């Protein structure tokens, strides 16, 4: 099999490439240049995609004896990830740029180019497993749930999964990966994992957004609509936030208040008690299947939902709601398997806390990733009970 190994410069992608070579595949390494002005030196575990990372990836490729290239996808990354991130925050939503990067860059732009060049698969260092089931290829959790990355891969479609290769999926721990890298003589064996948003390496998301989103002072309201403070830009707040609210009026019961919602049209932030963050129902669009579901989804079906990369899944009942052509917006997309556009309506068996529009909800059945959607609406537990 002809394999294109995506090499970030970290230990996971290095070992993934090494395993692909060891398995007898014809492997070519590629590093994605995602910034026109990359930093030359990492700061510990902050940031990624630096010149240093590209050099680390090249050294690994040289050791493995495979061809190595750097592909410039910086313009595509800016348009599909960075600009989207800015637009979502400006609209009062909380996006996940890693999901968008996997969807638009690593498993669309990269995969499309790889297939056009005659590669059979793209290998990455993600911790997830692929299973060839009765209805086609399925995406499953990695054997090591503490390192499982199936959530951020939930945007992959059936056609994309057919060309994916995750050599680390069955490895039970990151420590074993590092030990294997040491044994193979890879210099990145003890390189720190990257975290935070790659294009905000100092971790100051609020400060970065202040340079990219126009700041407009506005009101902070309580649930009753009373003004309890003022903000210097709604984009600097996220649902569930407690610190840094600078409220001018304490709550009557003296309890701390949290951000409940952001209203971009009126430029208002709404705060309230912690219990008001408890969500009993979520809904949204941009739904996609991660492979053929294997059942007829016309009726409500049981699943689990996960709304953050390292959150625990929660049991739920899901319903797909077809969207008429006249009602479609740019937030909707055609489902490749069934050629329909749907919204997803999810009733939660257990409340979720701090759900924000713009987050990605990934659906599971057991260890299998069923699909995903972008959250548009969240209904508090009390409101859900009243509606019922």
DSSP state of 133: E
Q: Which of 49, 98, 164, 198 is catalytic?
A: 198
CB neighbour list of residue 180: distance below 8 Å, 6 or more residues apart:
15, 18
List where CATH 2.30.30.280 sits in the chain: 214-272
How many Cβ atoms are within 10 Å of 315's Cβ, its own excluded? 12
How many Cβ atoms are within 10 Å of 5's Cβ, its own excluded? 32
CATH architecture for residues 2-125+167-183: 3-Layer(aba) Sandwich (3.40)
Q: Which of 48, 98, 101, 303 is catalytic?
A: 101
Structure tokens at 228: 């309890």
List where CATH 2.40.30.10 sits in the chain: 277-387
Give residue 38's pLDDT.
57
Q: What is the pLDDT of residues 204-251, one digit of tens each?
A: 888 888 888 888 899 999 999 999 999 988 888 889 898 888 787 778
Above pLDDT 90, what percent of the chain? 60
Q: Which CATH superfamily is domain 214-272 in?
A: Adenine nucleotide alpha hydrolases-like domains (2.30.30.280)
Residue of 259 and 206 predicted with greater confidence: 259
pTM: 0.88
pLDDT band at 265, cuts 50/70/90?
confident
Q: What is the pLDDT of residues 2-22, one digit of tens each?
A: 999 999 999 999 999 999 999
Does 198 participate in catalysis according to the annotation? yes
Percentages helix, strand, coil for the chain (3-state, rounded to 5) are 25, 30, 45
pLDDT band at 86, cuts 50/70/90?
very high
> What would the CATH number be for the domain defined by 277-387?
2.40.30.10
Structure tokens at 280: 């009993």
In the block, residue with structure tokens 């009390």: 382
Q: How far is CA 211 from CA 68, 106, 204, 233, 235, in A?
A: 36, 27, 11, 12, 11
List where CATH 3.40.50.620 sits in the chain: 2-125+167-183
Phi (first) and psi of residue 278, to 5 degrees: -75, 115
Q: How far is CA 291 from CA 147, 159, 187, 337, 360, in A?
A: 22, 8, 37, 8, 17
CB neighbour list of residue 244: distance below 8 Å, 6 or more residues apart:
none
> What is the 3-class SS of 20-52, one letter each residue?
HHHCCCEEEEEEEECCCCCCCCCECCECCCCHH
- In whole angstroms, give the CA distance from residue 378 to residue 305: 14
Q: What is the pLDDT of residues 331-375, one digit of tens each?
A: 444 444 444 566 889 999 999 998 999 999 999 999 999 999 999
Phi (first) and psi of residue 132, to 5 degrees: -90, 100
Residue of 28 and 381 predicted with greater confidence: 28
Single out the residue of 76, 68, 139 nearest to residue 106, CA to CA.
76
- Which is it for the CA torsion 282, 288, 293, 295, positive or negative? positive
pLDDT at 318 over 80: yes
Lowest model confidence (mean pLDDT) among 16-20, 122-126, 281-285:
281-285
Q: What is the mean pLDDT of the chain?
A: 87
Does 98 participate in catalysis according to the annotation? no
Question: Roughly what angle, to the nearest 10 degrees, separates helices 174-183 and 11-22?
Answer: 60
């Amino acid at each position: 099999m002809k394999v294109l190994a995506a090499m970030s410069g970290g230990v996971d992608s290095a070992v993934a490439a090494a395993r692909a070579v060891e398995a007898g595949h014809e492997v070519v390494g590629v590093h994605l240049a995602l910034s026109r002005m990359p930093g030359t030196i990492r700061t510990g575990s902050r940031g990624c995609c630096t010149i240093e990372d590209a050099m680390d990836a090249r050294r690994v490729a040289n050791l493995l004896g495979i061809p190595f290239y750097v592909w410039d996808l910086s313009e595509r990354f800016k348009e599909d990830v960075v600009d989207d991130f800015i637009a979502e925050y400006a609209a009062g939503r909380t996006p996940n740029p890693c999901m968008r990067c996997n969807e638009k860059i690593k498993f669309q732009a990269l995969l499309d180019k790889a297939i056009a060049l005659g590669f059979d698969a793209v290998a990455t260092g993600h911790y997830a497993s692929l299973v060839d089931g009765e209805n086609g290829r399925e995406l499953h959790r990695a054997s090591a749930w503490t390192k499982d990355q199936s959530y951020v891969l939930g945007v992959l479609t059936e056609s994309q999964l057919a060309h994916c290769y995750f050599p680390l999926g069955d490895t039970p721990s990151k420590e074993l990966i590092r030990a294997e890298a040491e044994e193979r003589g890879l210099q990145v064996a003890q390189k720190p994992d990257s975290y935070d948003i790659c294009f905000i390496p100092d971790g100051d998301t609020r400060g970065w957004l202040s340079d990219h989103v126009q700041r407009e002072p506005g009101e902070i309201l309580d649930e009753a609509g009373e003004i309890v403070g003022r903000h210097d830009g709604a984009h600097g707040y996220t649902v569930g936030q407690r610190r840094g609210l600078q409220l001018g009026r304490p709550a009557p019961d003296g309890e701390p208040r949290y951000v409940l919602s952001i209203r971009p049209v009126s430029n208002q932030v709404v705060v309230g008690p912690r219990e008001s963050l408890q969500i009993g129902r979520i809904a949204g669009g941009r739904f996609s299947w991660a492979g053929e579901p294997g059942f007829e989804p016309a009726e409500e079906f049981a699943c689990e939902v996960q709304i953050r990369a390292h959150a625990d899944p929660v049991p739920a009942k899901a319903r797909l709601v077809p969207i008429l052509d006249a009602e479609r917006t740019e937030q909707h997309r055609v489902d490749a398997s069934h050629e329909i556009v749907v919204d997803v309506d999810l009733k939660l068996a257990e409340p979720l806390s701090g759900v924000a529009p713009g987050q990605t909800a990934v659906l599971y059945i057991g260890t299998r990733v069923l699909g995903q959607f972008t959250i548009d609406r969240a209904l508090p537990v009390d409101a859900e009970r009243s509606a019922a």
